[in-house]
Amino acid sequence: MKQYSFHLNSPNDISSIDLRSWSNAPSAVLVQILSGWEEAEILTLAAHVRRFLPEAVVLGTTTAGEIMHGELSLRTTVINCMVFSKTEVHVERIDFDTQTAVDGARKLLEQCLAKKNKLAGIELLIARNNVNTYAFLAALSPCPSDVPIFGGVAGLTDGKQHFVFYEDVIVHDGVIAVVFESQDLHIHVCTSQGWCPLGPWFRITAMQSENIISHIDKRPAMLVYEKYLGFTREDFANENLAFPLFLERSGHRMLRLPALCTQEGALVLRADCRVGERVRLAYGNADEILDASISTQKTLLPWAPEAILLFNCMSRRFYLRDATHQELKPFQDTAPCVGYYTEGEVGRAEDGDLSLLNMTLVSASLREGPLLDIPHQRITPPSNTKELTPTMMFLRHLTHFIAVSSAELEELATTDKLTGLHNRGEIESIIKKELIERRCFSAIMLDLDNFKAINDTFGHDEGDRVLAWTASVMKQNIRSADAAGRWGGEEFLILLPGAPLIAAQKVAERIRTKLRQGYTLPDKRKVTASMGVAEFSDSISFREVYRILDAALYQAKENGKDCFCVANPQNRE
């Protein structure tokens, strides 16, 4: 395949391009028009291309900035022509004015699944980031996770209407889906962010719609920005660019930028959220943003792509300003690179679900033919040179301070100082998250036997050493995916995500044995513990989880201590 790109400052510039030179492509020609012009000018340009290339697939989108050769341009047009040798290109136009988003996605999914092993990837040009888009992506998510799906939402500045188009048909609310069919086309999709977490985690407790958060931790959502950043509602839209929200979904962290806040204190976002999801503030870090591009380049170099398409959030452009070329240059140094600035980007979470992203750079690298296995010694290492403006240099040091301070504050807020385990609030939050996501898990409640006598006889220093030793035994005998916390005093709670009851029993017995064998009190007595063990697989409240574990722990004490008891099923009623 080959990629040819042309930059137009005016519609008349099209006359200087020899379009006929691509007319003898052995397989397919895909022409994408990325433009900041008016609708009439864009359609006239598309008609001109079709006249000279009647066999080509011609489509495009409005943009909030065009990208070509690693440089940003505004209110211009980039024509990108991809000439394939062994790939077929088909287009589906899905207009939400004539069919529902779910029906359109299901029809596209059915067609894609029918292609089986010939489906190489799907590019989505989306007209608007609204509820239809969220529903469309959700319905398309069952598409096999090994099929690359990428794209962006049309963008346009100066208050003009944005749209996507195919041939001579404009779509203001819908999707243009480009389906690549080939056994020889390889597409590699990467995402880059560069925003860093700031402050504590919160939980979304109420929403007005898919993209409007009304309450966080049962208080008006705007209070998070007022309390932690000193924002006012009047100036919110002008100040929040560098501080989106980090969203945690299915183990994947995404960014959500509030566009504005309402008089009631609700946050209007540029993409969807869900009740129960955890969020926290994030801040822009120029170093991290530029390093992410360099890191992606290192990943792509051995892969030797022949073309790269970029879908970059317009908010990143506003934030980086004069440094935008530094983010784009590593891609251009890797392969011919074309793209545009969007109002939302398409990406997959770790569980395969498609989502609309914010504040993210999505790159799709394409290569037709066999993948090359290039020896490392033949790869030219990417340049790590970053030319930051004085303002960016100031922000570099400030954000470093914020990162270190935030990490220290987070550790203080979530960690028990004596044992190094999660504190009560954090372990409770972790278990509640499992309950909200309806995942199966087992749990162990542990209580040291006769601990008050240890403190009374040998002093609190000895008691603290016993608590620290107990914590170390717990850490050494659980998986990295498990969580252990100090519930209070000599009581501990262990969460075992995905573990069946039999596995939890083995963990409990292992910890009980290690405790008894490993620590000797000054009077030669051994440290022992009693435990309650239970498995949870249905919808249940945290209060019930605690009650069930506590009942099993009480039974272990009644049975003579230094043992564990499994929760009686009757305790669940």
Dist. CA 401–CA 96, nearest whole Å:
47
Instruction: Please report, as a single letter, which amino acid is at residue 141.
Output: S
Residue that has been written with the tokens 């029906």 in this structure = 103
Whole-number pLDDT of residue 391 = 63
Number of H helices, E strands in the chain: 14, 31
Mean pLDDT of the chain: 89
Instruction: Please report, as a single letter, which amino acid is at residue 109.
Output: L
Whole-number pLDDT of residue 14 = 87
Instruction: Please report, as a single letter, which amino acid is at residue 260.
Output: L
Dist. CA 57–CA 59, nearest whole Å:
7
Whole-number pLDDT of residue 41 = 93
Cβ atoms of residues 345 and 137 within 8 Å: no
Whole-number pLDDT of residue 387 = 66
Question: Considering only CA atoms, which of 282, 137, 270 is closest in space to residue 211?
Answer: 270
Whole-number pLDDT of residue 338 = 97
Digit-coded pLDDT (tens) for 416-475: 999 999 999 999 989 988 887 777 899 999 999 999 999 999 999 999 999 999 999 999
Whole-number pLDDT of residue 377 = 43
Dist. CA 302–CA 45, nearest whole Å:
37
Whole-number pLDDT of residue 396 = 66
Dist. CA 56–CA 17, nearest whole Å:
15
Residues of the chain with CATH 3.30.70.270: 424-572
The length of the chain in residues reads 573
Digit-coded pLDDT (tens) for 516-548: 998 899 999 999 999 999 999 877 888 899 999
Whole-number pLDDT of residue 159 = 65
Residue 308 in this model has a pLDDT that exceeds 60: yes
Whole-number pLDDT of residue 508 = 97
CA 287 to chain centroid: 19
Scored b (16 or more CB within 10 A) or e, 527-542 reads bebbbbbbbbeeeeee
Helix (H, G, I), strand (E, B) or coil at 312: strand
| 19 or 416, higher pLDDT | 416
Residue 47 in this model has a pLDDT that exceeds 50: yes
Q: Identify the weakest region by mean pLDDT among 77-86, 461-470, 512-521, 562-571.
A: 562-571
Residue 336 in this model has a pLDDT that exceeds 60: yes
Question: Considering only CA atoms, which of 273, 287, 278, 269 is closest in space to residue 343?
Answer: 269
CA 338 to chain centroid: 23
Q: Which CATH superfamily is domain 424-572 in?
A: Reverse transcriptase/Diguanylate cyclase domain (3.30.70.270)
Cβ atoms of residues 509 and 564 within 8 Å: yes
Dist. CA 504–CA 531, nearest whole Å:
11
Q: List beta partners, residue 195.
A: 284
Cβ atoms of residues 499 and 534 within 8 Å: no
Residue 378 in this model has a pLDDT that exceeds 50: no
Note the pTM of the prediction, 2 decimals.
0.75
Helix, strand, coil shares of the chain, percent, nearest 5, are 35, 35, 30
Banded model confidence at residue 302, pLDDT cuts 50, 70, 90: confident
222-225: long-range contacts (C-beta < 8 A, 24 or more apart)? Answer: 222/261, 222/265, 222/266, 222/267, 223/265, 224/281, 225/258, 225/261, 225/281
- Render 350-404 in DSSP notation, one character per residue: TTS-EEEESS-EEEEEEEESSPP---GGGSPPPP------HHHHHHHHHHHHHHH
Whole-number pLDDT of residue 385 = 59
Whole-number pLDDT of residue 195 = 86
Q: Alpha helices, DSSP H only, in 141-213? A: none
- Render 391-451 in DSSP notation, one character per residue: HHHHHHHHHHHHHHHHHHHHHHHHB-TTT-SB-HHHHHHHHHHHHHTT--EEEEEEEETTH
Whole-number pLDDT of residue 64 = 94
Digit-coded pLDDT (tens) for 215-241: 999 999 999 999 888 888 887 877 777
Whole-number pLDDT of residue 376 = 47
Q: Strand ranges (DSSP E) for 42-173?
A: 57-62, 66-68, 71-73, 77-84, 88-95, 119-126, 149-153, 164-166, 169-171
